[in-house]
């Protein structure tokens, strides 16, 4: 009986895959979908287990599958806008096809869903952060003094700063975090850079675009925040240093300030033990900016 039920569930999932499948990544969204009688799954764990089996079957047959975040509220709105019946599995298939064109997706590459789903959520957060930062930069408009587009100028300046931060960093893999305080929201962007055997730093283009946009927003709006880089290389202690965002500029943090930041619990504010094998230091000089102070808006 259990075997028959599993086959039935897998057939149901196969019907809803058209190259892209929308995944309910958490139990809250799963429960929201149970309002539809045609959604026949009883619990989230079983749903994910059967989904993984279907994905493995498709991969074994040479079929490519893309995973997308399935948001029940967005699905309901989509059905209302298009006049589709939300109860029909075909409607979920059409919504998944729409997600393939407009939503956040990652390819299924054979890794377990326990690994892929957090990556999918992270990609969605990255996309939303980039879109939000870009929207705010666009709304800044032209400089009242010189007429230059403030957001575009800030993005150019942020790009220049990022290049010089990477160029002055010691050899190794780089992990950068940029934080810009609201209102209304605090934005956090993370950028990973792996160093190849020739010494060049490989960056994910989408990550770099988001990171630069968030930094640009902090510069353009003169919002408080910070930028910290951690460099890891075989045979040496990890090196950590950074800058604070203040008044539309990057100001170097002292070694003790970086140490305090890393040894303080973000939520409670309590001190935590320092991480062994980490060298907290002052950042290298970035040199003079190519953009004149009058164009820093």
200 vs 59, which has greater pLDDT?
59
Average pLDDT, the chain: 87
Using an 8 Å Cβ cutoff, are 174 and 231 in contact?
A: yes
Tens digits of residue pLDDT in 246-256: 999 999 999 99
| Residue range 200-205: mean pLDDT, rounded | 87
pLDDT band, residue 283 (cuts 50/70/90): very high
pLDDT of residue 292: 43
Report the C-alpha gap between 97 and 265 in whole angstroms: 42
Tens digits of residue pLDDT in 147-169: 899 999 999 999 999 999 999 99
Residue 104 phi/psi, 5° resolution? -85, 125
**Three-state SS for 211?**
helix
| Residue range 184-195: mean pLDDT, rounded | 89
Using an 8 Å Cβ cutoff, are 185 and 131 in contact?
A: no
Residue 189 CA: distances (Å) to CA of 6, 58, 217: 41, 34, 12
Report the C-alpha gap between 265 and 51 in whole angstroms: 38
Using an 8 Å Cβ cutoff, are 243 and 219 in contact?
A: no
CA-based nearest residue to 238, from 178, 174, 165: 174
15 vs 93, which has greater pLDDT?
93
Q: Could you give the angle at the alpha carbon of 125 between the alpha carbons of 97 and 186, nearest 5°?
A: 150
Going through 132-206 in order, the beta strands assigned E by DSSP cover 173-180, 187-195, 201-203
| Residue range 207-231: mean pLDDT, rounded | 95
Tens digits of residue pLDDT in 172-187: 999 999 999 977 788 9
């Amino acid at each position: 009986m259990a075997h028959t039920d599993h086959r039935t569930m897998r057939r149901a999932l196969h019907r809803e895959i058209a190259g892209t499948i929308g995944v309910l990544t958490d139990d809250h969204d799963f429960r929201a979908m149970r309002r539809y009688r045609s959604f026949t799954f009883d619990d989230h764990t079983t749903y994910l287990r059967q989904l993984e089996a279907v994905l493995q079957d498709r991969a074994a047959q040479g079929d490519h599958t893309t995973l997308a975040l399935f948001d029940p509220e967005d699905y309901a709105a989509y059905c209302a806008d298009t006049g589709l019946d939300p109860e029909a599995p075909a409607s979920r298939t059409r919504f998944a096809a729409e997600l393939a064109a407009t939503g956040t997706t990652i390819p299924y590459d054979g890794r377990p869903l326990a690994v892929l789903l957090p990556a999918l959520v992270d990609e969605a957060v990255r996309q939303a952060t980039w879109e939000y930062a870009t929207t705010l930069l666009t709304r800044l408009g032209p400089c009242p003094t010189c007429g230059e587009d403030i957001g575009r100028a800030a993005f150019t300046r942020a790009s220049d700063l990022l290049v010089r931060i990477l160029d002055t960093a010691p050899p190794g893999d780089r992990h950068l975090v940029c934080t810009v305080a609201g209102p209304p929201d605090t934005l956090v962007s993370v950028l990973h850079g792996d160093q190849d055997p020739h010494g060049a730093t490989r960056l994910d283009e989408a990550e770099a675009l988001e990171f630069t946009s968030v930094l640009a927003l902090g510069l353009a709006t003169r919002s408080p925040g910070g930028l910290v880089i951690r460099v890891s290389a075989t045979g040496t202690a990890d090196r950590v240093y950074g800058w604070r965002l203040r008044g539309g500029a990057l100001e170097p943090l002292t070694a003790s300030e970086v140490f305090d930041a890393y040894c303080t619990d973000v939520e409670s504010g309590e001190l935590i033990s320092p991480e062994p094998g980490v060298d907290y230091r002052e950042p290298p000089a970035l040199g003079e900016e190519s953009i004149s102070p009058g164009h820093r808006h």
